[in-house]
Structure 1
Amino acid sequence: MIRGLKDLGALGMKIETKYGGLGLTQVYYNKALALVGSASPAIGALLSAHQSIGVPQPLKIFGTQEQKDVYLPRLATTDISAFLLTEPDVGSDPARLATTAVPDGNDYLLDGVKLWTTNGVVADLLVVMARVPASEGHKGGITAFVVEADAPGITVEHRNAFMGLRGIENGVTRFHQVRVPAAARIGPEGAGLKIALTTLNTGRLSLPAMCVGAGKWCLKIAREWSAVREQWGRPVAKHEAVGAKISFIAATTFALEAIVDLSSQMADEDRNDIRIEAALAKLYGSEMGWLIADELVQIRGGRGFETAESLAARGERAVPAEQMLRDMRINRIFEGSTEIMHLLIAREAVDAHLKVAGDIIDPEKPLADKAKAGANAAGFYARWLPQLVTGAGQLPRTYGEFNPAGHRDLSGHLRYVERSSRKLARSTFYAMSRWQGRMETKQGFLGRIVDIGAELFAMSAACVRAEHLRSAGEHGREAYQLADAFCHQSRVRVEELFTRLWSNTDDLDRRVVDGVLSGTYTWLEEGVIDPSGEGPWIADATPGPSAEENHHRPVR
């Protein structure tokens, strides 16, 4: 399979043609991933880990010309790459990175252990994040390196197995005194985190792209199955309880594709900063993709829980609905969990408020400064979130163009987005005034703020896509119907989220958590057997030589 992908040129989809790649834009790269992801999310993960966050992307942005000339032709045709950042005790907090790269003449010596290295088992090249100790002539800090995967001192100690994506080549990689030339360093010392985060900006778009592919497949299966499966004399699709699920799958898949297309177009215009859009696309795509897969399993009933192999063995169509559900679950965790995405996006949003209106809530500022900040804020809030959720330069010229004759009226939904954007800005500002320095601890509130923004982003994207399809003469009437259905569904979720901003159980939950951690409720755990037994929660990652068999097996 991997050799076939190489022959197709799939390893070089995003690499420029002058290096032997296909030179696809982000838009068409994501469409290719959606196609692959609909058939096998594991293969999609292999291609995405190689091109979206593996060696090609950081080299494209930060690499020297010499590095590009050396590595990109290999990466476009024969060599698979992997991205190594996570460690056994370091996940979303890379400041605690333990892997070191100690300068030694014109080289660095790498020592440490990396966990969940997607493609690491079969990789030819690695991009490794390691900490360089500060010393004379060395600024130090977290730094990125390109490393040959078969270099002496590298051992793939274990091939990990997961609930889903069972085909991915994901492992635990140990480095012991691995010599890496300084010429293989990407960017200056200390730039590793910037490189990692910048790479993830566009890298995150590959995940919702595969969610789009999964959504399209789920819609196809739901349509075909619910038309032939009858209960009480009617196809199950005609029963409202099932029909609502099919409507959700169809409308949400349309919106997800709109989000991915819009974000990808922005990524292809290098002038755009897509940190927010990419993070929103990843957050919304992974959450909604999971719900879509879950709804398909429910529509299929017992057959949704049965494996494709078992279905085929007893003479039925081999529909892998349960596999899709398992494969989709990880999307809410990797490349930034939902919780981390909430915090990342919220930080960007709150920072925007602080720059404009921070003087208003600063008790040390004089009244004149507060008045000036208030005037600035008034103009800022009038345009802040609509631009945030649709992108600079992406706002519709007029709402009237979204109410063409013979089509559903989408202009009201865009007006709702604008009103809700202002309401969201007011809610955020009020929370800043109320909690001030404690704002960052209010993660439940911040998560809801972000979820509202994600829904508004999705509504805007869906309306824009519907109008684009209508203007191009491509299923315009149907696109307007789907966009209208999605916006109505989304508005229900938005109103619930607005209510929960101020009416929730956050304080109560914190008290319960304190009780759980202090052992107050251990009596509730009685009467069960824990099959996990004893053992450390986190494996030992002490640097040193490996005592394990090397599971590295590159595909030549």
Structure 2
Amino acid sequence: MSKQHETQQSMIDTSKMNSAKAAAMQLAESARDTSEQTTSFAGQLFMGSLKTELIFPFPSQSSAEKKVGDQLVKQVCAFLIEHLDAEKVDETRTIPPEVIQGLVDMGLFAMKVPKKYNGLGLSQVNYNRVMMAVSAHCGATAVLLSAHQSIGVPQPLKMFGTEAQKEKYLPQFRDGKISAFALTEPEVGSDPAKMETSATLADDGKHFLINGIKLWCTNGLIADVLVVMAQTAPKTLANGQQVKQVTAFIVEKEMPGMEVLHRCDFMGIRGIQNGLIKFTDVKVPIENIILGEGKGLKLALATLNTGRLTLPAASAGMGKYCLAVARDWGNERVQWGMPIGKHEAGAKKIAFIASSTFAMEAVTYLTSHMADDPKLDLRIEAAMAKLFCSEVAWQVVDTTMQLRGGRGYEKASSLKARGEKPYPIERLMRDCRINRIIEGTTDIMKLFLAREAMDPHLKVAADILKKNLPVGEKIEAGLKLAAFYGSWYPTQWLSSTLWSSHPSLGKLAKHIDFVENTAHKLARTIFHYIGLYQDRLERKQHILGVLMEIGTELFAISATCSYAVSKLNNQHSDLTPQYLADVFSLNSKRKIKRLFDELADNDDKKENKLAKSILNGEMAWLEEGVPWVDY
């Protein structure tokens, strides 16, 4: 066990949390990647360090690679327009078989499969360019493709599969085989310690028998092969303590014992095949374990680092579509003598949509390029990209609906029936809302980021946090701690406001200077809260969430400015990409100021007390006067 794990174990053992919570934290901690984050641009921000060399200049595709992406995106867009009626998919909850076959013919179920195994072998950048296009047209079809290869079988096999597993399964996806990922259970969301699905070694010693129920298994109802997470025999540590083990299995549809209990119907993305699946003594060969017994959560977390990057791409695609609608409607709709886009109220909405879309595109492409570079640590950036883009996309779609007014709220089929342009903003809103939930909710993303942001501090404090440490070693650990913070802390008060450290960025230099100064402020603020609350800080979820939002906004400003500089030679008017980045950064800086204010100016104590009172039933009187059935 590493020193960091020993430290975390010590914190778990000495805290006042109940045993169930301690077990959950222990299981989650054991699956974390604890490698150094020196190649993480965003991770360094939390320590007050701006590593501009990690994102400047903005990474770019080679001309050959870009040509591959250009041709495929063009082909996909033409196919979607001609063959896929997204409104009909929403109405019937069905993606037509001929559409799925068309996707197969283009190789879209094998986009990330290496060419060695008959796949397209796309980079993450080109994959996300395709997903950006599909998401703008039909959310359900985008989920079909992304659940299959971002978190389904192809990605885990590509990362961790044996050569035999790859040779057996990966070529199948070019032929149209569909995969799924089964992790969530009725009583298990983000807490893997409560997982009940089990995998027991059979008497023959060559198979596992899987039993349990999985919920919200996207593609599960039509999948030919699934990655199924199940608990295997617990592992005994050196100290005699037993810890749960979660293992990933490749399960084929033909294996007896799988039963679909229910197909779920959702607010949006209604064409997805998502449901409740029961496993009864499903006999799986031992060679179908991916990565190794007890390493299922490690696999899941590593897969999600890349897998969740589809959501930023989808968000950017939706933003692009909304921008086109806003431009068209902003010119077409005339009120009080001029187009609504030229009224200030409309203009501000359009400017927000445009600048936010540019930022989402920047974050998407930056993290996609990072995913293609094995030397870079993607954990924090991927979580930030998902958090930032899913939240901003929701605001963009909502703003577009407001700009469209009643026509935004009206279904596209109704608009079409009465002769108006059938822009599906209402469906886009329903499809978009899930992005703030799947692949880690906004709240979970903030807690994940908080845990990663605290890592450097935990490493420095590893020895002093150990239980029953001899006095001499305790003093030595204290001196080590003082030596680090004695040199680190003063540097967090340095400022570059009197000079610019980035003159080559032109007008955008001021925003990167702001990022650098604010990273110092963020780092010392985190340090202050660690000192104030110590092991109680993990319960201060609102404070942690605000700190993580600040870090995410700093990352977004940096990505957007870098992206804008890379596109200066592609300007189409006097208002360059630099102008878009400037507008976004100015708004983001105002948000960061509000977030810092919120750290001290909040009502957390009162709101926690109020929530406790409501949960205890003391304010049931406020619920009176409406129909209510207690199911």
TM-score higher than 0.5: yes
Deviations 1:218-264 (A, max 9, x none): 00001100111111111111122221111111001001110111111
| Counterpart secondary structure, 1:133 | strand
Deviations 1:404-461 (A, max 9, x none): xxxxx10001100111110111111111111111110010000000111111100000
Alpha-carbon distance in 2 for matches of 1:101, 1:331: 31
Alpha-carbon distance in 2 for matches of 1:183, 1:521: 56
- Alignment partner of 1:132 is 2:232: yes
Query: Counterpart of 1:336?
Result: 440
Please say if residues 130 and 143 of structure 1, whose CA atoms lie closer than 8 Å, have aligned partners that are also in contact. yes
Q: 1:112 pairs with 199, 208, 212, which one?
A: 212
- Alignment partner of 1:492 is 2:492: no
- Alignment partner of 1:223 is 2:327: yes
One-letter amino acid of the structure 1 residue matched with residue 502 of structure 2: Y
Residue 184 of structure 1 deviates from its aligned partner by 1.0
Deviations 1:495-527 (A, max 9, x none): 000100111111111110111011111000000
Please say if residues 14 and 29 of structure 1, whose CA atoms lie closer than 8 Å, have aligned partners that are also in contact. yes
Alpha-carbon distance in 2 for matches of 1:518, 1:238: 52
Alpha-carbon distance in 1 for matches of 2:573, 2:307: 30
Change (3 A) 1:308 1:441: same
| Counterpart secondary structure, 2:280 | strand
Alpha-carbon distance in 2 for matches of 1:192, 1:290: 32
Query: Counterpart of 2:504?
Result: 401
Deviations 1:28-78 (A, max 9, x none): 100110010000111111110001000011111111000000000002332
Alpha-carbon distance in 2 for matches of 1:356, 1:183: 41
The list of structure 1 runs, each at least 4 consecutive aligned residues, that deviate by more than 6 angstroms after superposition, is 357-364, 472-476
Aligned ranges for residues 308-457 of structure 1 at < 5 Å? 308-356=412-460, 366=475, 368-378=479-489, 399-403=502-506, 409-457=507-555
Query: Counterpart of 1:513?
Result: 611
One-letter amino acid of the structure 2 residue matched with residue 47 of structure 1: L
- Alignment partner of 1:37 is 2:140: no
| Counterpart secondary structure, 1:410 | helix
Please say if residues 226 and 236 of structure 1, whose CA atoms lie closer than 8 Å, have aligned partners that are also in contact. yes
Alpha-carbon distance in 2 for matches of 1:47, 1:470: 33
| Counterpart secondary structure, 1:194 | helix
Please say if residues 361 and 433 of structure 1, whose CA atoms lie closer than 8 Å, have aligned partners that are also in contact. no
Please say if residues 357 and 374 of structure 1, whose CA atoms lie closer than 8 Å, have aligned partners that are also in contact. no
One-letter amino acid of the structure 1 residue matched with residue 483 of structure 2: K
Alpha-carbon distance in 2 for matches of 1:215, 1:79: 31
Please say if residues 108 and 179 of structure 1, whose CA atoms lie closer than 8 Å, have aligned partners that are also in contact. yes
Count matched residues.
514
Residue 378 of structure 1 deviates from its aligned partner by 3.5
One-letter amino acid of the structure 1 residue matched with residue 482 of structure 2: A
Alpha-carbon distance in 2 for matches of 1:353, 1:369: 12
- Unpaired runs of 5+ residues, structure 2, are 1-98, 237-241, 495-499
Alpha-carbon distance in 2 for matches of 1:374, 1:3: 60
Query: Counterpart of 1:539?
Result: none
Change (3 A) 1:380 1:301: same
Residue 355 of structure 1 deviates from its aligned partner by 2.5
One-letter amino acid of the structure 1 residue matched with residue 107 of structure 2: G
Deviations 1:270-302 (A, max 9, x none): 111100000000000110011111111111101
Deviations 1:454-482 (A, max 9, x none): 11100000000011112567779510000
Alpha-carbon distance in 2 for matches of 1:268, 1:380: 33
Please say if residues 460 and 481 of structure 2, whose CA atoms lie closer than 8 Å, have aligned partners that are also in contact. no
Residue 189 of structure 1 deviates from its aligned partner by 0.8
Residue 398 of structure 1 deviates from its aligned partner by 5.4
Alpha-carbon distance in 2 for matches of 1:135, 1:89: 23
Deviations 1:363-391 (A, max 9, x none): 985464443122343488589xxxxxxxx
Change (3 A) 1:347 1:434: same
- Alignment partner of 1:466 is 2:564: yes
- Alignment partner of 1:74 is 2:74: no
Alpha-carbon distance in 1 for matches of 2:266, 2:274: 9
Deviates more, 1:293-302 or 1:355-364: 355-364
One-letter amino acid of the structure 2 residue matched with residue 320 of structure 1: P
Q: 2:262 pairs with 145, 148, 158, which one?
A: 158
Alpha-carbon distance in 1 for matches of 2:243, 2:544: 36
Please say if residues 470 and 476 of structure 1, whose CA atoms lie closer than 8 Å, have aligned partners that are also in contact. no
Change (3 A) 1:317 1:361: same
Change (3 A) 1:476 1:242: closer
- Unpaired runs of 5+ residues, structure 1, are 384-396, 404-408, 536-556
Alpha-carbon distance in 2 for matches of 1:534, 1:5: 45
- Alignment partner of 1:190 is 2:288: no
Please say if residues 359 and 370 of structure 1, whose CA atoms lie closer than 8 Å, have aligned partners that are also in contact. no
Please say if residues 360 and 373 of structure 1, whose CA atoms lie closer than 8 Å, have aligned partners that are also in contact. no
Alpha-carbon distance in 2 for matches of 1:75, 1:382: 54
One-letter amino acid of the structure 2 residue matched with residue 454 of structure 1: T
Residue 349 of structure 1 deviates from its aligned partner by 0.5
Please say if residues 443 and 545 of structure 2, whose CA atoms lie closer than 8 Å, have aligned partners that are also in contact. yes
Alpha-carbon distance in 2 for matches of 1:381, 1:100: 49
Deviates more, 1:240-249 or 1:97-106: 240-249
Alpha-carbon distance in 2 for matches of 1:432, 1:74: 50
Aligned ranges for residues 199-210 of structure 1 at < 5 Å? 199-210=303-314
One-letter amino acid of the structure 1 residue matched with residue 105 of structure 2: D
Aligned ranges for residues 245-260 of structure 1 at < 5 Å? 245-260=349-364
Query: Counterpart of 1:307?
Result: 411
- Alignment partner of 1:62 is 2:62: no
Alpha-carbon distance in 2 for matches of 1:135, 1:485: 54
Identity percentage over the alignment? 48
Deviations 1:200-228 (A, max 9, x none): 00001001101000000000001100111
| Counterpart secondary structure, 2:212 | strand
Deviates more, 1:371-380 or 1:204-213: 371-380
Residue 400 of structure 1 deviates from its aligned partner by 1.1
Alpha-carbon distance in 2 for matches of 1:150, 1:381: 59
Residue 187 of structure 1 deviates from its aligned partner by 1.7
Please say if residues 235 and 245 of structure 2, whose CA atoms lie closer than 8 Å, have aligned partners that are also in contact. no
Please say if residues 412 and 423 of structure 2, whose CA atoms lie closer than 8 Å, have aligned partners that are also in contact. yes
Deviations 1:106-153 (A, max 9, x none): 0011100000010111111100000112499x9972100111123211
Alpha-carbon distance in 2 for matches of 1:135, 1:249: 51
Query: Counterpart of 1:295?
Result: 399
One-letter amino acid of the structure 2 residue matched with residue 72 of structure 1: L
Residue 159 of structure 1 deviates from its aligned partner by 1.0
Alpha-carbon distance in 1 for matches of 2:333, 2:617: 50
Deviates more, 1:366-375 or 1:265-274: 366-375
Change (3 A) 1:124 1:476: farther
Query: Counterpart of 1:46?
Result: 144
One-letter amino acid of the structure 2 residue matched with residue 402 of structure 1: L
